[in-house]
């Protein structure tokens, strides 16, 4: 098994490149989503999100996870992207990225980590369930976030969440963050 290192991507170009490489491996792919603009998404993540990349010893990208844990009034962090290169699956890449997201959410004082998953993406549903996540009712929260030293409404997030919540093809998975431990199986799907 290869050595996996997790690093945080903070520059828009690096975030864009990682998502461009991995976006086609999502179910459904990012490129097929109406109104999706990769440049805007990468910039939004650089400004107000967190992006973690898994790389091997040679620095090759194995997978990435994007999340928001900057909701000032809410108790939840939101995972928006988790993808692993096909040749790196079943090697703990997704698990290490998920664990990094849990640690980041915990450090931000969050008690829940939510991911929205397409109902036909059985592999992703199993992945999250094996890590202690449960299907739950969609959560609507008012999002006031901190970005670039000032408080601002997170542009488009409430609208985007509303669209996804109305989409009968999307399920919501929630991981309850327990202090001091991870509550999941170690099997990597």
Task: Tell me whether residue 184 is in a domain.
Answer: no
Task: Tell me whether residue 162 is in a domain.
Answer: yes
Domain residues for the domain of 171 are 5-176
Q: Nearest Cα to 68, choosing from 178, 4, 188, 155? A: 155
If you search the block for the tokens 């440049």, which residue do you land on? 39
Cα torsion through 132, 185, 25, 19, rounded to 10: 70
- What is the pLDDT tens value at each position of the chain, 189 positions in all? 679 999 999 999 999 999 999 998 887 788 777 788 999 999 999 999 999 999 999 999 999 999 999 877 788 999 999 999 999 999 999 999 999 999 999 999 999 999 988 888 888 889 989 898 888 766 554 344 444 333 333 333 333 433 333 467 788 878 887 655 444 444 443
Task: Tell me whether residue 161 is in a domain.
Answer: yes
- Output the domain CATH number for residue 140: 3.40.630.30
Single pTM value for the model:
0.78
What total number of domains does the chain contain? 1
CA distance 70 to 78: 9
CA distance 74 to 98: 20
Task: Tell me whether residue 74 is in a domain.
Answer: yes
By the 10 Å C-beta count (0-12 exposed, 13-18 middle, 19+ buried), 38 is classed as middle
Whether the link from the prior residue into 28 is cis, omega within 30° of 0, is yes
């Amino acid at each position: 098994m290869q050595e996996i290192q997790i690093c945080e991507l903070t520059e828009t170009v690096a975030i864009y490149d990682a998502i461009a490489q991995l976006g086609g491996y999502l179910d459904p792919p990012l490129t097929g989503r109406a109104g999706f603009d990769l440049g805007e998404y990468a910039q939004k993540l650089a400004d107000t999100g967190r992006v973690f990349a898994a790389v091997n010893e040679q620095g090759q990208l194995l997978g990435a996870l994007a999340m928001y844990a900057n909701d000032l009034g809410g108790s939840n962090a939101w995972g928006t992207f988790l993808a692993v290169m096909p040749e790196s699956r079943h090697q703990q890449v997704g698990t290490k990225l998920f664990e990094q997201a849990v640690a980041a959410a915990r450090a931000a004082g969050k008690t829940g980590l939510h991911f929205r998953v397409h109902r036909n993406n059985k592999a992703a549903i199993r992945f999250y369930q094996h890590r202690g996540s449960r299907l739950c009712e969609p959560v609507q929260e008012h999002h006031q976030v901190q970005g670039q030293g000032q408080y601002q409404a997170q542009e488009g997030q409430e609208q985007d969440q509303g669209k996804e919540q109305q989409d009968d093809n999307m399920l919501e998975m929630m991981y309850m963050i327990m202090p001091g431990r991870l509550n999941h199986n170690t099997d990597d799907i």
